[in-house]
Structure 1
Amino acid sequence: MLKVREGYKMTELGEIPVEWDVQSIDDVFNIIGGVPLPRSKTGNGNTYYLHYGDIHKLSRSLINTEFDKSWLPLIDETSNVLRRDAYLEDGDVVFADASEDYLDIGKNVVVRISTPHEFVAGLHTIVAREKADKLILGYKQFCFKTEEVRKQLATLATGSTVLGISKSNISKVKFLQPPLEEQQKIAEILTTVDEQIENTEQRIEKTKELKRGLMQQLLTKGIGHTEFMQTELGRVPALWDLKKIGEVTDIKSGLTPLRSESKYFENGTIPWVKTTDLNNDDIVETSENITEKALEETSLTIHNENTVLVAMYGGYNQIGRTGLLKIKATTNQAISSLVLTSNDLDPKYLQIWLNAKVNLWKKYAASSRKDPNITKADVQDFKILIPSLSEQQKIASILSSVDKQIESYEQEKQKYLELKKGLMQQLLTGQLRVTV
């Protein structure tokens, strides 16, 4: 039998401080169903509406009507029959009762109603409203996010393609309740980390906005030009050339060797790029390798560094994504490799141009074919504006420096997320105690 530490007790959720209690959601909350209105019914009105999809998109655990009213959809309460208990109250916890994966089943947010507006939870939501004041608002933002709670939610979920959890099952979920003073301290610590995450996200978004503005400026007006001409792509510097990508690159297709032949993959050392390896950035490693035997017995070709790769299909969100090889590699059949045939084209500039036009790729693929994809002919005919080589390199350098800043912020955000994950698991289980 495991020895319990002094000041702790053993419970069904493991070892916890003696002052803490194990509670089920049903012990502390009344469970209410959301309003079964789809998001398509929103538009105008004076009542805020919370959709389960909004809960899944949020990286934070609090919705405040004062700060979130700019994006919260509205419904007209006079045109819908709304139960009185459907209206959210300050401090309610709203769970999403449907998810496509176990990680997000039962994802939840706490509602802060700080403006005089009506607010309802909509389709695929479950509302938990406290019976008595046993939990502070800040603690409710985090107490259902421990590994112990997530495991319970995953066990109680039902379904195959889309997972669901019922009101009766959510009510069974157990969580930990510290004394109010300790709840307050825990919430303060985790909220501080959340604020750092949100501040970093804002810096990321502002820098991305800066990049979008710079791309629009640099790829249409260039650097220091005074004379312009009208082209089919708009008004551009007079010294620029307009070419088809097929005129400045040789486009090669990839291949997937037979998966049933282990000799093609087992202990492979040759990098083999798939569409999932393309992230509109440099490629320095791949998730899979192939063997020399695969190269010998198929039509696969190894491409040199600075070859630009484009995803031709493999899912709508993947179409048009790019990669710039920084290693020698081959690719699968869903990727076209653009091998430069002109010394007047910088590979990074070419990739930046393609990244800037990704929405055109998607629009064309979606509108022209039953199964969204782009073809070799599409890529060959795609237009590109080409400045002088030195100007291309300056444009690439400016935008790459912004990318490095975004990457730095992303790394900072990841550190805060890891810190939060560790603190939550320790603080919300009582393994790490706070001073009150």
Structure 2
Amino acid sequence: MEDLQMTKEITNATIKSFSEKLSNKPGADVVKRTIMKNGILASSQNMDSQIAMDQTFSVEIDTGDVANQKQSGRCWMFAALNTMRHPLQANFKLKGFELSQNYINFWDKFEKSNWFYENIINTAALPLGDRKVDFLLTTPQQDGGQWDMLVALIQKYGLVPKSVMPETYSSSKSNELNSQLNLKLRKDAITLRKLVNDGNDETVVEAKKDELLEEVYRMLVFTLGTPPTKFDFEYRDDDKEYHRYADLTPQSFFQKFVGWNLDDYVSIINSPQSDKPFNHTYTVEFLGNVVNGRQVKHLNLEVEELKRLAVTQLQAGETVWFGSDVGQSSERQLGIMDTEYYKKDELFDVDFSMTKAERLDYAESLMTHAMVITGVDLVNGKPTKWKVENSWGDKVGKKGYFVMSDEWFSQFVYQVVINKQFLADAEKTTYETEEPKVLAPWDPMGALAL
């Protein structure tokens, strides 16, 4: 097919025609005045959605107070650690307990720096301007991540209570650290690429990389604190009984207080794009943090199967980590995520509709945020709305909890983490035995939750 060449400019006659048509459109002046005064969102709000999204659920897990990631992009950490602290709070009678997000944050940034160095070394033969090199240099590291990346960190470093490694200025407000660390990593990329391209052997390159990593470690200790290797943990439980555990390590703490087999929890995605047939597994080039750690691996299933799995896990008493595009059709203050909440199509008399696959293909949507499903409202066995624990503190939603309509789940949820015991036999076999197809680094399924 021959390329179509368009060169037609906008003429005054065209503008005049558009203006006359708008002038003759009934109610146009009313809509214009409303939007100019109140903005698009307020002018298109649908109160029926607010009424329908009442926070009452037939299946609900009591999870306590929400956490607050503050001015950082660590939602994936907060959401994952929340799924682990929910049973911990009940089992050890520790209402309000939190695991240290800063501890995981420290090791994530350290490992991401090494991940970046390794990828820079491995792509050193590619010229500047190559799309893969550009991809790496655009964001050497950031706060965001995915479930498998969290698992890789815990499997290597364990976990600690928040009291042992609390938040710091730079963990809660990460922009300064991210800016300075990315500056360093880009500068180091110049050094490493030059060493490789000048023909130095692996020993020389590796020695320089270790020198650069030592500087990263220093920066992280100065901003986030020193990660504990051994600590004592003492507390009074909800019954006021005193407990003390001495000489714990992060790994022994994880085994005693969380005790999960993390290999049981797997990523299930819904990507209806033509290049990702359902019932197959996928990974993404350059996506990860821990070299030789757990691989990012997704099983792609129909969205109704994601819902079935989520309901089954909730009914078994386990909350569900999930990734979605939280900014779409979402009212932050009320905590409502519903495709019917804003009627922008009707406001502008413009068809904005796209399929889920089209939004992914044309860069309109991707996973941006991770949260936790803690409840669901079932009517005749079918979900109508879902209860969501966010990590934005208790000043939004209902004390930090959001409600998500079932249609919003269909359109904007891209990932859930499910215990393998709830998968169908064929799904479990596919996940465990199939070699995943490697997607391009910029594929939307490689998006990081912030």
Could you tell me the TM-score, scaled by structure 1's length?
Answer: 0.27
Greater relative contact order (Cα < 8 A, sep 6+): 2
TM-score when normalising by structure 2: 0.26
Q: Which structure has the highest helix share of the two? A: 2
